[in-house]
């Protein structure tokens, strides 16, 4: 009886223990989704931070947000100045 139980016991290295507990003794059984496989085919380009910052600043000025920011800063400073005591 003990000999039959020893045939069913297998020694698993600690590195493979999580796969063994999940029933995955080989990674060949894992199927990756198609989106992951498609992402693996993409190549990444180096980002051009100077161009990105310049474009963001240009849009910030072109849309008038810079003037709204400056006006809000001045208005906030004046409100703080006139509403504080001492």
Query: What is the rounded (10 degree) CA torsion for 12, 13, 17, 22?
Result: -40
pLDDT < 50 regions, the chain: 5-6
Q: What is the 3-state secondary structure (H, E, C) of the chain?
A: CHHHHHHHCCCCCHHHHHHHHCCCCCHHHCCCCHHHHHHHCCCCCCCCHHHHHHHHHHHHHHCCHHHHHHHHHHHHHHHHHHHCCC
Q: Is the pTM of this model over 0.85?
A: no
pLDDT at 18 (0 to 100): 54
pLDDT at 42 (0 to 100): 72
* Domain boundaries along the sequence of the chain: 2-40, 49-83
């Amino acid at each position: 009886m003990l000999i039959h139980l020893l045939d069913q016991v297998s020694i698993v290295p600690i590195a493979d223990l999580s796969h063994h507990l999940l029933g995955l003794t080989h990674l060949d059984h894992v199927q990756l989704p198609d989106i992951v496989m498609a992402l693996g085919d993409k190549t990444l380009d180096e980002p051009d931070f100077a161009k990105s910052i310049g474009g963001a600043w240009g849009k910030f000025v072109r849309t008038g947000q810079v003037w709204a920011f400056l006006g809000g800063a001045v208005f906030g400073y004046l409100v703080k100045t006139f509403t504080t005591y001492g």
